[in-house]
């Protein structure tokens, strides 16, 4: 019962009542009634307390919930209740004393200020809500158009590369990675996406128990989120085709650290076939080298007997802590150092 009452009050406080509705005036009367009870209780303790004191709160709450008309109604009803219940019986002989005149004047002016402030607050609140609703509508429309555009691009690719299934699949996977990241950004209203959200989307198609990660989650700005999604998609795809994830016992360890406005990533594969550097620069290496350049980034690729080790760092001027996403990825410790040179070995 108490929970239901609290839930109803929260709904009223956050949503308000329609202005000029009977419910708003009934609510105003209820506020005045509660204020009168409070004044009676205070009178038992201190009869000399200010007559109008509890009715200021009643006027404010009624105006915030029911609008300025309900607030004005509460102020008038509160004045009547105060005169009727708490003004001394001989008030007529002292009605125009200086003390009473000041009390009347202060209550009237204070009530006007309270109602005006509450009306301004309600107007601002409704404008903000209307703008939020419009923004959500535009966001949904933008998401719909992006999905349609990506679908058209995929259709064009399918028709153009009909005789090249391997290349067609690569492009489809990359477009799918972009689509997943765009969905995350749209849900966050393009403010950014959590790094672990991005990783969870890229690792989801595979056995997540084969990934070990360590690092504090943070929100990536939208442009960086898209770039990181593509980078980790290329690294993961490369590991599935040629690296650690191409064998049953292969594992991938990903660590990152943040220091002095930069973040450094360390991608280490183990348990797979020994990597062999390619004579050409693949898409993954090109993406790493050119994509990270706009963020002041640097990358180092090492082909160790145990597997590929890719270290890259970038500047994160707008990085903010983010709530970690509940992904089924086991965490394990490792150390990460900032890379110091660029190696143009091919990936992807």
Per residue in 166-214, pLDDT tens? 777 777 776 776 677 667 666 656 667 788 988 888 888 788 889 999 9
Range of the domain at 222: 192-331
Q: Which residues lie below 8 Å from residue 130, measured CB to CB, with a gap of 6+?
A: none
Q: What is the CATH number of the domain that holds 316?
A: 3.30.565.10
Together in a domain, 117 and 33: yes
pLDDT tens digit sequence for 30-79? 999 998 888 888 776 665 556 788 888 899 999 989 888 999 999 999 88
Together in a domain, 242 and 325: yes
Contact in structure between 322 and 219 (CB atoms under 8 Å): yes
Contact in structure between 278 and 345 (CB atoms under 8 Å): yes
Does any domain span residue 162? Answer: no
pTM of structure: 0.52
Together in a domain, 102 and 199: no
Does any domain span residue 141? Answer: no
pLDDT tens digit sequence for 204-251? 878 888 999 999 988 888 778 878 888 888 898 889 888 999 898 899
**Number of domains into which the chain is organized:** 2
Helix locations, the chain, DSSP H: 2-15, 22-45, 53-66, 68-86, 91-94, 98-160, 165-187, 195-203, 222-241, 283-293
DSSP-based three-state secondary structure for 325: coil
Q: What is the largest CA-CA distance in the chain?
A: 106
Does any domain span residue 182? Answer: no
What percent of the chain clears pLDDT 70, i.e. is strictly above it? 77
Together in a domain, 107 and 16: yes
């Amino acid at each position: 019962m108490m929970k239901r009452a609290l839930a109803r009050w929260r709904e009223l406080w956050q949503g308000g009542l329609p202005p000029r509705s009977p419910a708003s005036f009934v609510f105003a009367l209820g506020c005045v009634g509660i204020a009168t009870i409070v004044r009676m209780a205070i009178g038992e303790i201190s009869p000399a307390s200010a007559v109008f004191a509890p009715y200021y709160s009643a006027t404010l709450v009624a105006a915030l919930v029911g609008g300025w008309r309900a607030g004005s109604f509460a102020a008038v009803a509160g004045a009547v209740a105060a005169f009727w219940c708490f003004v001394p019986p001989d008030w007529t002989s002292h009605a125009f004393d200086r003390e009473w005149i000041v009390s009347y004047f202060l209550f009237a002016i204070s009530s006007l200020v309270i109602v005006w402030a509450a009306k301004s607050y309600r107007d601002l609140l409704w404008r903000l809500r209307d703008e939020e609703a419009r923004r959500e509508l535009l966001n949904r429309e933008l998401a719909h158009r992006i999905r349609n555009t990506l679908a058209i691009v995929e259709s064009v690719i399918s028709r153009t590369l009909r005789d090249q299934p391997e290349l067609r699949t690569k492009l489809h996977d990359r477009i799918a990675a972009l689509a997943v990241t765009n969905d995350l950004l749209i849900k966050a209203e393009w403010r950014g996406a959590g790094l672990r959200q991005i990783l969870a989307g890229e690792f989801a198609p595979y056995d997540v128990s084969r990934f070990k990660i360590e690092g504090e989650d943070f929100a990536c700005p939208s442009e960086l989120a898209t770039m990181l999604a593509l980078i980790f998609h290329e690294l993961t795809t490369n590991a599935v085709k040629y690296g650690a994830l191409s064998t049953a016992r292969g594992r991938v360890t990903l660590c990152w650290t943040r220091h002095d406005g930069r973040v450094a990533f360390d991608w280490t594969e183990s348990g797979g076939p020994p990597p062999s550097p390619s004579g050409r620069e693949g898409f993954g290496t090109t993406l790493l080298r050119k994509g990270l350049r706009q963020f002041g980034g640097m990358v180092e690729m090492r082909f160790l007997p145990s597997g590929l080790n890719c270290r890259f760092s970038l500047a994160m001027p707008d990085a903010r802590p983010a709530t970690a996403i509940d992904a089924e990825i086991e965490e394990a410790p490792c150390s990460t150092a900032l890379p110091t040179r660029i190696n143009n070995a091919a990936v992807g």
